[in-house]
Structure 1
């Protein structure tokens, strides 16, 4: 109903403006009327808007007094092509505007030029360029004390910074924007801030929190006149339902995602919003990917490429090439996967978004493992880890939580103030009645208000005090953890710098003794060689210990990386032995540093036994999860042994001791000529209880 009324009102305005054009009016008045008609048609009737844009530009082209109107029309045309998704055309019009502004200095037009050009940069995937232009527009708005423009460009600047991985700085800008939006009572800008904070949560993979903010933003935007904003919000909500469904293994959420993608696509097609049309197609393709329909996903992505190339939409292209690579890996088309991932690589590295970089390097690592190019796979695995560490910012989570608390508290205070105003209004209304009744009622109301205010104030103070206590406890915990980490780092540095260097000196001294003692007996030489070898092994064990000490937690991915490194060294010692490493457990599962170190030592001991005693030509390492147990298997095809007739030495005793320290267990299954399997089981941390 509201939409129909708005449409009726808009039609009346259009008819009124067309009536003015039929009258005898000056060129200046005609140009002004054209601009007003363009504004009316811009959101819903793009073809009509384009007709009047052409008329305005033609009318004002060579009239000096109408230069401002001419530049304004060119700016609107550039914006028109952004919405259509034709970035090449949009760039042409911004170039024309830039040339005209050199001879025509005007604050409003310059501000609009830099702000809108920044939007084009953003959609082209040039986030640095976008940030530069938003900054210029913001400086102009601040110098002219235009708070409405400041609010717009604060939001845009914060968005560009979040896409460049500067999440904490982005959040500070959002705080300024929200404060200014509340001051100006601008719900549209508030909706944009909520949307952009959702983007920060999305980059942090906090999908439930991102969805919460996207829905807040959508609720505000649905009450506005901008269908562009509505289409953007619907798309973001759809994406979060997809991510949550994938993360929580809840396929019912995929239906929600599909519905929101379709709603966004319908709005985008209605207003000819080319950018979001492409975005929704890629969203549908991503949905097909998580539903394990890679062929359908590939088909959709291929349909996107031509349109994205035509409009030079680098943002869509990099996502499309990346996800084509992912789906080709799943269909085992390794050559096609490599081609698309390498096309995506320079674009993603230029955009410098940590989330996209982590995903790119992860899939390049998987690709080169499939191609048996383990060195490249390992290099990309390390790069993936680097950017995933950058995304894990607990301090940012605390900062956002603190921001939410402050925002909600301010909101509550405003509501209480509003309630007080309403009570005072009621009091004034009662004053017109019987004086005695008014005085009695007023006294009761005042007492009630005072009691309520005192109660609320005490309750608020109590909550604030509890929050301060909780914050102090949290800070104390963080300080304690930091001190422990500093102790670990200092001890590990001492081990590395003192003991490590001394052991290295011993090896060097022994090698010198062997060289000097050329005439020494073979027995002495063997003894020196044994000491040198033992010292070298000690250095390797010391490095592993330092690795564990430098971490408060060790993830499955850390463990996998360490095993890969150990296997690479083992390959040099036994080049004819084939090693195979598989893991199906979530890479983010983690252990304490003690548990992670003990698991690595036991796996290391098991591999060493297979190399030294089993005479195996294949050794397989499996890392799995069953319910709340981490399970590791070391399987060889060696000569095996009989458990009943063979006396087990210190190696098994050490394995059992290490497992018992972390509440784990170790089992050995072996048959002569059939090989040996060593299995260790360790309970995983209960994530639901992690704080």
Structure 2
């Protein structure tokens, strides 16, 4: 998931003003060249050549060539029609217009099938499956992959079979079926070993290693990722090596071998800088920060956080710039189309006046119809302009709000967070210098101040987490709750904490940052009340969804509380927050324990 997102942002980062100028210059030059060619066959060949030259670098130029080529191909030239439909599907896919990409790919597939071109048909099915995989249409993706695999098997194309197996494994992983994914990767590895394809072997080994990491089989993961590294180090493929080093960095972090993790991430940093691949560097920084924190090297962790924040700001600006440019291009396109329609309309009006000198009755009818059409065109143009301006204004306001939120969160982190860390360090230093007995009043007071400062830092981190997110999905909330429960269990001996996640992983439901923080605080308060007042040996948190509602339960097996005095112990705050969220709050208690139930409405994206 992370690597897929990194590749997407990397492509978006190419959409700068300088590149837009370069693309327009290329288009102007190529239009002049193709216009000068009068022979139709030569022009078709020229558009094919342009598409092949630009399909890996300037997708808009490649798209223009495919569109122009398809427009001049005669209906009887089926092979050329198939070629340009496939080319348009490819270019739309690279431009992230997936619906159009699927439409042209399906036309190309029918044409290739009609010509019994099996290799081309398998290639198109593979491309269609990839689109469905990115759109999370898992069943459709698997259907097309299976049919492409069957064709490659008939053609004895082992390279095609191995590639399909790897991509099919990625679909199974997205579906949460890790064992099926592993089986696909292993079969792919077997084929690549028979072919002695070092590149394919390296990727298959990495996929298997990463799969084992997801299944928490860390020793097996290490074995396969190191084998993949041996192959990558003997090849001139810095991109594959960078991904391998990142995977090993993540693995050794999960194993608690932080020095090894740091060593691999350092190599990943060097390669990401060499390739100008800032997104992988961002993900590697996240792991590096956790490594430093685990080792107690908090100053180094803070420096890495500053680097990560700078990268996040850069990526946010690039993505927003790309969106603004896309809207601007749409606006200009609508403007051009409307100008053409208005010009055509004016020409038609003039022609009708000439013909109308002899046919007065027809003239009156045509004038009325044309005036009506012209007014509709103008109204349509005004509506389009208003919609586009509103969209651009909305994006600009959202950017300003997000920038302000990020500035505030950075100030909280860099100023207050750093100062509190200094306070804790100073208290520890004072205790060491004074050498006071642990039972003394001074030691106890210093301990309370230190504990209060640490708690304040945790609260500050939660606030910064919420401020940095415009929307908080259920997945985000589950991760935060799971982390809180895990830390609570680690810090309190003799008290068992359990977190039961009974929801499907989905980002279709979300809260805004304020409401998401309220939900998190209610759960925190319920758990803290159970710890402080229930004398419980077990606390369990359940989270599930029911239609358009999120249901959270916090249960303990303690002594219970007096329901006549339930407005104490923070319960009043929980009730008020639940009311502001538009939800339902329920507390039930007996001698066998207490249950806090929270039912909240959730929004759909």
Is 1:231 matched up with 2:122?
Answer: yes
2:102 is aligned to 214
Shift of the 636–581 alpha-carbon distance from structure 1 to 2, 3 Å rule, reads same
1:307 is aligned to 191
1:667 is aligned to 586
2:532 is aligned to 612
Q: Is the 8 A contact 2:485 2:497 kept in 1?
A: yes
Aligned with 1:650 (options 559, 562, 569)? 569
Q: Give me the whole-angstrom Cα distance separating, in 2, the residues matched to 1:291 and 1:473.
A: 38
Q: Aligned ranges for residues 543-554 of structure 1 at < 5 Å?
A: 543-554=461-472
Is 1:474 matched up with 2:391?
Answer: yes
Q: Give me the whole-angstrom Cα distance separating, in 2, the residues matched to 1:464 and 1:619.
A: 61
2:550 is aligned to 630
Alpha-carbon shift at residue 656 of structure 1 (Å): 1.9
Q: Aligned ranges for residues 187-336 of structure 1 at < 5 Å?
A: 190-200=84-94, 210-220=98-108, 222-223=110-111, 227=117, 228-240=119-131, 246=137, 258=143, 260-261=144-145, 264=148, 275-279=159-163, 302-311=186-195
Q: Give me the whole-angstrom Cα distance separating, in 2, the residues matched to 1:680 and 1:668.
A: 9
Is 1:534 matched up with 2:452?
Answer: yes
Shift of the 475–289 alpha-carbon distance from structure 1 to 2, 3 Å rule, reads closer
Shift of the 509–265 alpha-carbon distance from structure 1 to 2, 3 Å rule, reads closer
Q: Is the 8 A contact 2:327 2:388 kept in 1?
A: no
Q: Is the 8 A contact 1:211 1:240 kept in 2?
A: no
Q: Give me the whole-angstrom Cα distance separating, in 1, the residues matched to 2:214 and 2:487.
A: 30
Q: Give me the whole-angstrom Cα distance separating, in 1, the residues matched to 2:98 and 2:595.
A: 45
Alpha-carbon shift at residue 684 of structure 1 (Å): 0.8
SS in 2 for 1:622: strand
Alpha-carbon shift at residue 630 of structure 1 (Å): 1.8
Q: Give me the whole-angstrom Cα distance separating, in 2, the residues matched to 1:466 and 1:347.
A: 58
Q: Aligned ranges for residues 152-551 of structure 1 at < 5 Å?
A: 152=48, 155=51, 160=56, 171-174=59-62, 176-178=64-66, 181=69, 190-200=84-94, 210-220=98-108, 222-223=110-111, 227=117, 228-240=119-131, 246=137, 258=143, 260-261=144-145, 264=148, 275-279=159-163, 302-311=186-195, 440=358, 455-500=372-417, 503=420, 523=441, 526-527=444-445, 529-551=447-469
Is 1:592 matched up with 2:592?
Answer: no
Shift of the 278–502 alpha-carbon distance from structure 1 to 2, 3 Å rule, reads closer
Q: Give me the whole-angstrom Cα distance separating, in 2, the residues matched to 1:415 and 1:222.
A: 34
Q: Give me the whole-angstrom Cα distance separating, in 1, the residues matched to 2:435 and 2:214.
A: 61
SS in 2 for 1:625: strand
Q: Give me the whole-angstrom Cα distance separating, in 2, the residues matched to 1:313 and 1:446.
A: 75
Shift of the 190–326 alpha-carbon distance from structure 1 to 2, 3 Å rule, reads same
Q: Is the 8 A contact 1:151 1:189 kept in 2?
A: no
Q: Is the 8 A contact 1:195 1:233 kept in 2?
A: no
Q: Deviations over 1:300-357 (max 9, x none)?
A: 654443333444667866775677679879999887677667767999996869xx98
Shift of the 333–524 alpha-carbon distance from structure 1 to 2, 3 Å rule, reads closer
1:53 is aligned to none
Q: Is the 8 A contact 2:172 2:181 kept in 1?
A: yes
Q: Is the 8 A contact 1:348 1:357 kept in 2?
A: no
Q: Give me the whole-angstrom Cα distance separating, in 1, the residues matched to 2:457 and 2:471.
A: 23
Q: Deviations over 1:221-253 (max 9, x none)?
A: 644779344432233334555776846xxx6x5
Q: Give me the whole-angstrom Cα distance separating, in 1, the residues matched to 2:230 and 2:344.
A: 54
SS in 2 for 1:640: coil
Q: Is the 8 A contact 2:549 2:602 kept in 1?
A: yes
Q: Is the 8 A contact 1:635 1:675 kept in 2?
A: yes
Shift of the 198–231 alpha-carbon distance from structure 1 to 2, 3 Å rule, reads farther
1:557 is aligned to 475
Alpha-carbon shift at residue 593 of structure 1 (Å): 0.8
Q: Give me the whole-angstrom Cα distance separating, in 1, the residues matched to 2:179 and 2:464.
A: 46
Q: Give me the whole-angstrom Cα distance separating, in 2, the residues matched to 1:413 and 1:274.
A: 54
Q: Give me the whole-angstrom Cα distance separating, in 1, the residues matched to 2:126 and 2:549.
A: 38
Alpha-carbon shift at residue 594 of structure 1 (Å): 0.7
Alpha-carbon shift at residue 487 of structure 1 (Å): 2.7
How many residues are paired up?
A: 505
Q: Is the 8 A contact 2:52 2:62 kept in 1?
A: no
Q: CA RMSD in A?
A: 5.9
Alpha-carbon shift at residue 194 of structure 1 (Å): 2.8
SS in 2 for 1:650: coil
Alpha-carbon shift at residue 536 of structure 1 (Å): 3.6
SS in 1 for 2:552: strand
Q: Which blocks of at least 5 consecutive residues in structure 1 are unaligned?
A: 1-138, 162-169, 203-208, 428-436
Q: Which blocks of at least 5 consecutive residues in structure 2 are unaligned?
A: 1-25, 35-42, 74-79, 262-282, 288-307
Shift of the 279–509 alpha-carbon distance from structure 1 to 2, 3 Å rule, reads closer
Alpha-carbon shift at residue 685 of structure 1 (Å): 0.7
| Structure with max Cα Rg | 1
Q: Give me the whole-angstrom Cα distance separating, in 2, the residues matched to 1:652 and 1:407.
A: 58
